[in-house]
Structure 1
Amino acid sequence: MRIGVDLGGTKIEAIALDDRGNSLTRQRIPTPTGDYHATLDAVATLIGRIEQLTGMHGSVGIGTPGSPSPATGLIRNANSTCLNGQPLQQNFERLLNRPVRLANDADCFALSESIDGAGQGFHSVFGVIIGTGVGAGIVINGSLIPHANRIAGEWGHNPLPWPSATESPGEACYCGKKGCIETFLSGAGLHLDYRRETGLEISGPELSKRLEQQEQAAERVMARYENRLARSLATVINLLDPEVIVLGGGLSNLVRLYERIPRIWAEYIFSDVVRTRLLPPRHGDSSGVRGAAWLWPEGEDQY
């Protein structure tokens, strides 16, 4: 049995998978706010509950915001700031009394969609998260690529490509730079553009509703968003040339993206033909936690 944990800022979710990838049970609890040790205990309690329900002992993979530094092993770049500077993997291994594998949550999403999701059967998969933040994972032949610096897929912290005069220098990003892709393509970036267009502050579902009603302001904002996303993904294709790009996160639910983005990105891709496919996720919100479980491939010693 494989246990996967998605350690989010507001919730902790765990799943148990059998050898065929079938879900045995799935549990969710709130994340203790800003409390590192309470977070460790909550994950351990959740895993204990899973093993009690199934009557089995399992390997443990954990998807986290941020990533461990290759120099120190301490977590960095996590928006759940209580994790930063902490030896998360070592603490979990001591608490759970077994080896634990840790990966960025976007890496877990990409791995899940590559193994038995929308990217199944493709050799190269770029799995994108577009929601609160913008990140990605890169899977080649069913495995995450080796990370020299453990930052593969951090395309959200590259500058927006081919910026117009109105897009440059761009908004300040929490990373310390300006004009990062994340500041344009995250949910917050999309809502900021709508507020500038209309003066109104609205939610994601409300924006979707206004698009369905063909509100002109919403259409203008969405057209800019689609062009920016197409430009940004074009640079990924120019660099990695993946067979498939799978979108995840809240904004991946916008069905129109899968038709419109490929029409736009052709202008920016350095090729006479573009065979890369843009697909929605098969497992939706479950991809991250399933990918954490798959951090232990078949045949490896799991515990």
Structure 2
Amino acid sequence: MEQVAVIGAGSWGTALAMVLAHNGHDVRVWSHRESQVEEINSKHINSKYLPNVELPSNLVAYSDMQKAIEGAKAILLVVPTKAIREVCRQLRPFITNGQTVIHASKGIEPETHKRISEMIADELGDEVNNRLVVLSGPSHAEEVALKQPTTVTVSSYNMDAAEVAQDLFMNEHFRVYTNDDVVGVEIGGALKNIIALGAGISDGLGYGDNAKAALITRGLAEIARLGTKLDANPLTFAGLTGVGDLIVTCTSQHSRNWRAGNMLGKGYVLQDVLDQMGMVVEGVRTTKAAYQLAQKLDIPMPITEGLYELLFDEKDPKQVVDELMNRGKTKELEDLNSFL
């Protein structure tokens, strides 16, 4: 049994904490909300994020970060991209050498265009890279909490650290693979949220399976195009954190990015969508970052560009689809070379 601190008590953080607790670990979950901490400890529920799910008794919540991570073998960061830097600044005075740092967040920072692991290294110091692990893959918190079969990947520049994470999480319901391609794993996990917004918009417009299949396939080509430019292994995008995560996020109503896109396709304006969601929609922020990065690197990403114009320039969703369908002729196999 190990002691593990989970920083972030949203749906995904709570579900991963449950996996750790079910594996017999001493799990400490940190939240900045006192009311949430009280509810978890007294009622063993997290009603806002995972209603109707009973939490294990060896999962204890804290509002004091120092107490939450004291003595922990591993620290799992599961907070929105926009909160990563601030949370890491709070964490830095208390973290000790030897603690494995795992993050399960998905996104890219606008303006800097940095991946989550790069943001963490900025705030915790470059030395953390040797013990930093990324956890990603096709996984809805709601299904993980119910012990439905789920498979993910852990990635690190240090495979010993990746195997520490693999051993902490792996069980008969939650299978964990290792992968040394940190860039590819993070890019796939971040950019699939953009395509999931597009899939939701397509469904909201009333288009069928043909349109969504095309969107997912061409979206994967865009993800691979950008990822390989950043020196990712192209084969990663054919795996769990690429096509796997893309499928689950684009086809399920569990996906908040799909749900947000679906509302946009039905005519809601962005701010109303975000207000009604009540939870972070990472694809919106990531669309801005990926669009900026594609412009900087001169990489064609027409789906991302169209979604950027829809989200931030208020272009009509149907007009975006019409413009994508009427682009100039091109060759499919030129894109598929990204996987070779």
Please indicate, yes or no, whether the TM-score normalized by the shorter chain is above 0.5.
no
Q: Which has the higher helix share?
A: 2
- TM-score, normalised to structure 1, is 0.36
Give the structure, 1 or 2, with the largest relative contact order (CA under 8 Å, sep 6 or more): 1
Q: Which has the higher strand share?
A: 1
